[in-house]
Structures are given as C-alpha cells and as structure tokens.
C-alpha cells in the first residue's frame, strides 16, 4: 500500500494543491486534513503547506496553532511521526512551539516572491535523506514574515546540535548573512529551516513543493519531499525514523520502500 501523508488545510491555505501534486510526484498518497478535526485519519506523515492561515491576523500562524487539527499534529509529533511545515506551515509550527525560534517581518518590510538558493546543512536527517549531496538548491520563496529569529544562546544551541537544516546562499555559494543579496528576509545566520530537538519535526520558508518538476522551473525541491515520504514510510513500517538512506539504495529501491509501506 502506498504511504499516506496528510496535508493540513486551514482557512487561507493556498499551497495545499501544490503539496498534493508534490506528494504524488514523490510516490505518496496525499490525504487532506481539515483544520476543524483532530483526527489525522491514520496518516504516516504530515505536511503543513503555505498560505495565510486564518488570514494571518494578529501574527502569521498564531491563530492556526489553536485549531483542533494542531492537537492531533502535536500528539503525532510527540509519538515520533515526521512533520514538515513549509512557509506558513513553518510559522504555524513555530507558534505551536513544535520547532524552535520565531518568524518575524521581513527585514525590508515587504512581501518577497522570488527564486532563492538553498544550502542543505545536513544530509542524514528525515527531511534531507533523499538529497544526493549538499549542492545548492533552487526554489521560490513567497512571504512577508520569514525572518528567522532566535536569541544568540538558542542559535548557538541549534548550531551545536545540528538543528539547522537549510541556509540561504549567495550567488557565489557562500551562506547569506542578514544583509546579503541571497537572504530574502534578513534571517539570522542565513537560516532558512530548522528541526526540533527530536529530529522528527522541521520547517522551512522556501517552497520545495513548487519545485518538484522541471516544468515548474526547478525540480530541486523533490529531494526534500521524497525525504518526508521515505521517513513516513519508515515510521509506518517500524514506528521510528533513522533518517539515513542506505548508501546502496537505488531509485528503484526507494520506490519499492514507499510503495510497500503499511
């Protein structure tokens, strides 16, 4: 049976259809999870898509965190299931304290919508395991509140624990600092995405779900979506996630594992 991955939909979500397509391209069965229910319908992974949940009133993600579905998401995460938040989904996870840090207004105080370059920081995680190497990835951003912030002690802890998963990069491949052209929002230390302490919940501001096919302008995001799908398949089969893809695993083997998940 194909692994089932839930897509949480709030009033104002607008990247849910992109997420449906991305999961299908990655070999999963997408399952829509409406915000009014805490029932996750037995999915093996969860994706919180982009958009403007509840209109982003008060602050991006702050109302959505109180939705009934987030009780189910928090319980799922506590049990070790893989959860990925993209853009507004990242903001919701941060407001729910499921990932560290906060997303503030962009440094330029304007909505930013453009292609960026993303550097994977670590490969052996549930959300990067299907990336073949640490080469730069091209995908879009589209947000007004994407400036990653945490105090210096927390930032040092994230660095020490390997919890920074992606950073923005300049055209020359260097990490983009808050004022560099490759950093679209002023994020501290160029941080584009992080994970929680347990490693099973992650968020990022760029949109891998809209970069899964060359016809969309880039397929660089597919490895991130496939990583979520593979981790969901592993969690469904074993109740745990190693986050490590065997060195000998071929694309055919990857497809077999996803398709064979319970």
Catalytic residues: 87, 207, 209
Residue 174 C-beta-side C-alpha neighbours within 13 Å:
6
Q: What is d(CA 81, CA 8) in angstroms, rounded to the nearest whole number?
A: 15
Closest by CA to 258, choosing from 1, 30, 21, is: 1
Written as six digits, the tokens of 136 are 């730069």
Q: Is 154 left (phi over 0), alpha (psi -120 to 50) or beta?
A: alpha
DSSP 165-187: EEEEE-TTSSB--TTSTT-SS--
Beta-strand relationship, 4-9 and 29-34: parallel
Cα diameter, the chain: 49
Task: Output DSSP code: residue 141.
Answer: E
């Amino acid at each position: 049976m194909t692994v089932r991955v839930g897509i949480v939909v709030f009033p104002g979500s607008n990247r849910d259809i992109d997420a449906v397509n991305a999961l299908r391209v990655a070999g999963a069965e997408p399952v829509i999870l409406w915000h009014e229910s805490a029932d996750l319908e037995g999915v093996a992974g969860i994706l919180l898509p982009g958009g403007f949940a509840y209109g982003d009133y008060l602050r991006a993600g702050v109302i959505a965190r109180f939705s009934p579905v987030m009780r189910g998401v928090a319980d799922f995460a506590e049990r070790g299931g893989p959860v990925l938040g993209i853009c507004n989904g990242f903001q919701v996870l941060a407001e729910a304290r499921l990932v560290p840090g906060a997303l503030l207004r962009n440094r330029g105080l304007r909505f930013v919508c453009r292609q960026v370059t993303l550097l994977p920081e670590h490969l052996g995680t549930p959300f990067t395991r299907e990336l073949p190497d640490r080469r730069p990835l091209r995908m879009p951003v589209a947000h007004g509140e994407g400036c990653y912030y945490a105090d210096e002690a927390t930032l040092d802890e994230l660095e020490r624990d390997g919890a920074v998963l992606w950073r923005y990069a300049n055209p020359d491949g260097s990490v983009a600092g808050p004022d560099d052209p490759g950093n679209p929002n002023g994020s501290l230390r160029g941080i584009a995405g992080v994970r929680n302490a347990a490693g099973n919940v992650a968020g990022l501001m760029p949109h891998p779900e809209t970069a899964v096919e060359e016809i969309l302008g880039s397929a660089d995001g597919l490895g991130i979506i496939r990583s979520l799908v593979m981790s969901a398949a592993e969690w469904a089969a074993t109740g745990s996630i190693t986050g490590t893809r065997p060195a000998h695993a071929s694309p055919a083997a990857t497809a077999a594992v996803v398709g064979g998940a319970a």
